[in-house]
Structure 1
Amino acid sequence: MSTSESTPSLPFLVETNDPQAENNLYPFVFLYPDGNLFIFANNRAILFDYSKNLVLKTYPTMPGGQPRSYPSTGSAVLLPLRIKGETVNEVEVLVCGGAPKGAFVNANKGIFDGALDTCGRIKISDPNPQWFMETMPLARVMGDMLLLPNGHVLIINGASAGVAGWELGRNPVLSPVAYRPDNQVGSRFEVQNPSTIPRVYHSTTVLLRDGRVLVGGSNPHDKYEFSNVLYPTELSLETFSPSYLDSNSSGLRPKIILPVTNSRIRYGKQLVVVFTV
């Protein structure tokens, strides 16, 4: 940090702190289209102007008041933006899973509470934004959420009991779930084919350029532990192919006509892409 910069003060993280569990750690942060930050911690959210160190908006507490950030680690994603003309007119955030109040304290006593099976969805661009709650087919803590090229959300990895932290998660969730935000309520979630590899604390996922999802990791231990433990440290990688890669859908996928393979792309020059749908 240069001498001309200063560290912003964020009392919001003090206000959302749980002295017993600190369920405000590792908040979910998304860049709002105007350059401000949407910050969600525990069960609350704000819109923050970091350049002026100013809270612009305080959002309602998520119904139920259950914690969603570490160690009650849920997951969150910024849904595809709605654009009208040249203006973004709808901005929505989806927060899913987590662990109930008291779960961290209980897990440290060997009592592993069931994870949360709810999601909260909020249109943060509304003048009077409100949470809309939905129920997932599978409860999940320590899950990962990933926005897919077709606008769907993949919810993957994690456990169905306990919390994040060393040795504190139980009952891995092996089946991913697809969330289709534009479907009617009641038909948005779809359980996908399962993996056979438990991926709990410190697992991760990333979208590959060919549309597959790379999934890896899992280390719920203070050190690398490969034997004589409930969930060994996992160093493997695997790929998950969403339903849009099914061969039956090949006729629906766009085909790029131009530029052709190995075409030279020059910095600062116009690139014309021609495709068929």
Structure 2
Amino acid sequence: MAQYTCDGSVGQTWVISGLNVATLPSKWTAPKALSLVPVAAAALPSGKVLVWSAYDRFTFGGDNGQTYTALFDPVAMTSTEKLVTNTAHDMFCPGIANLPDGRIFVNGGSSSTKTSIYDPATATWSVAPEMNRGRGYQGSVTLNNGGVFTVGGSWSGAIGDKDGETWMPNNPWRLNSAIWDDYILTGDSAGLYRSDNHAWLFASANGRVFHAGPSKQMNWIDTTGDGSVTPAGTRAADGDAMNGNAVMYDIGRILTVGGAPDYENQTSTANAHIIDIRSGTPVVRKLTSMAYARAFNNSVVLPNGQVVVIGGQTVPVPFSDDGAVLTPELWDPATEKFQKLAAMATPRTYHSVALLLRDGRVLSGGGGLCGGCTTNHPNVEILTPPYLLNADGSAATRPAISSAPADALLGTTISVSTNTPVSKFALVRMSSVTHSVNNEQRRVPVTFMVGTAGENLVKIPSDPGVAVPGYYYLFAMNAAGVPSVAKVIRVH
């Protein structure tokens, strides 16, 4: 495992295998202990983060009908644990979606057919209809019509035949019998048990979903009725990229990074590609690679369109920190290049998570859940990205949103007041993550004009395939690119 030393955490120079590597100004909080290993996480409209492990705080196995959860407050840096038993659902290795009304939707996992819903308004869990196919390690995503689509997931339940199915509110799951999991398979040497895992899914208009990977084959999926699948080409020269990431950093534009040809024990890549789906026919471009090969990494889009790539391993091995990459990288859409950030204190590999916070920082945590092993990481740490810092590491002056509506209808204009003139606004959808998959996050830059009273008149997109209904962070950015603390807005 590479060795890392430094003399600070802001704009420092790291000595890596004898090389001096300058980093952008950035810093991490000290790790904050939790009562459990956060294998899954979801951002809530309150600004808190819901995290959970399995039936046990530090290990998993079987279907035990309960889940340890906790609410983490990133401002107070405190957490409150709750053992969930009323849904009889072991929510380890599920699909996750952020519903349009702010509830968190969890399907499958160790309890392979179960579905549970968390309501942040009441801090309670409830039972939702069971799926037609038992599954775990599947991909799930919120649709433009408020439903949820899921596909794959042979880790739990029977192996294979994990065809797609769609849930709509107040209805049972509907099997999409023509959306075969065969369309999404990688060539994993372990076979179907691994090859239909962790689908990268992006909702579009009219109930359609773009499948970006991790298989090298991409597809357009129509979830209407029995459904249909239209092949959409491959990611240029990229191969299968299991346990890599895909992030919609701009409208119809997706960054993919890392991954490996097999789920484990194969060398990961440093590959990076842009997939542009705006025309309906995907256009793929290979980018300059990351500095580090990574799998089991997480990626988080920032309000300015930059993407932070966190953690991972050079060779993915579950429950090992060997080859862990401690140095995050920041991808900038303006240059299409990666730059290194300050290294984190804790390896974040298999079973780690990362999410954008309301204040523009990035939470990273977890890894492990392997009983009495040495690689359990029941903690989180928070990254302050470069856009919140001056060159000397001091805090940048931030604009502030003084007023904004709590709700915004698609296709309308909202009035937003700021304490100083600003240059840009962006919506970032609140999201959820487990096992390196976050299909809910997307950044939507929005146009605005200044009104006669100095207010900012911000235009909300009319297409629910662009601004998928749900809760968003609304960020204002000044001329230097420094973001405000976000206002939380429900777009519907």
TM surpasses 0.5: yes
Question: Match for 1:24 among 180, 196, 199?
Answer: 196
1:176 corresponds in structure 2 to 328
CA distance in 1, matches of 2:296, 2:257: 10
CA contact (8 A) 1:60 1:130 kept: no
The yes-or-no answer on 1:100 pairing with 2:261 is: yes
CA distance in 2, matches of 1:133, 1:170: 28
Question: Match for 1:255 among 394, 400, 404?
Answer: 400
Cα 1:10–1:237 shift into 2, 3 Å: farther
Higher strand proportion, which one? 2
CA distance in 1, matches of 2:272, 2:172: 41
Q: What is the aligned length? A: 240
The yes-or-no answer on 1:245 pairing with 2:388 is: yes
The RMSD of aligned alpha carbons is 2.9
What SS class does the counterpart of residue 244 from structure 1 fall into? helix
What SS class does the counterpart of residue 396 from structure 2 fall into? helix
1:135-154 matches, cutoff 5 A: 135-154=289-308
1:80 corresponds in structure 2 to 250
1:86 corresponds in structure 2 to none
1:197 shift after superposition: 0.9
CA contact (8 A) 1:23 1:67 kept: no
CA distance in 2, matches of 1:32, 1:238: 33
Percent of paired sites with the same residue:
24
Q: Deviations over 1:174-203 (max 9, x none)?
A: 0111111232x5xx2111110121111111
Cα 1:266–1:217 shift into 2, 3 Å: closer
Cα 1:211–1:267 shift into 2, 3 Å: closer
1:121 shift after superposition: 1.4
CA distance in 2, matches of 1:273, 1:11: 43
Letter in 1 for 2:327: S
1:92-241 matches, cutoff 5 A: 92-100=253-261, 104=264, 107=265, 113-134=266-287, 135-163=289-317, 165-167=318-320, 170-183=322-335, 185=336, 188-219=337-368, 223-226=370-373, 229=374, 232-241=375-384
Cα 1:34–1:148 shift into 2, 3 Å: farther
CA distance in 1, matches of 2:238, 2:381: 35
Letter in 2 for 1:20: S
**Unpaired segments of 5 or more residues in structure 1?**
82-90, 108-112
Q: TM-score, normalised by structure 1?
A: 0.75
CA contact (8 A) 1:68 1:74 kept: yes
CA distance in 1, matches of 2:202, 2:377: 29
1:88 corresponds in structure 2 to none
What SS class does the counterpart of residue 59 from structure 1 fall into? strand
**Unpaired segments of 5 or more residues in structure 2?**
1-128, 130-169, 423-492
Letter in 1 for 2:282: P
CA contact (8 A) 2:179 2:228 kept: no
CA contact (8 A) 1:204 1:215 kept: yes
CA distance in 2, matches of 1:75, 1:266: 31
Q: Deviations over 1:203-242 (max 9, x none)?
A: 10111111111111011x5x3335xx4xx20011111000
1:166 shift after superposition: 4.6
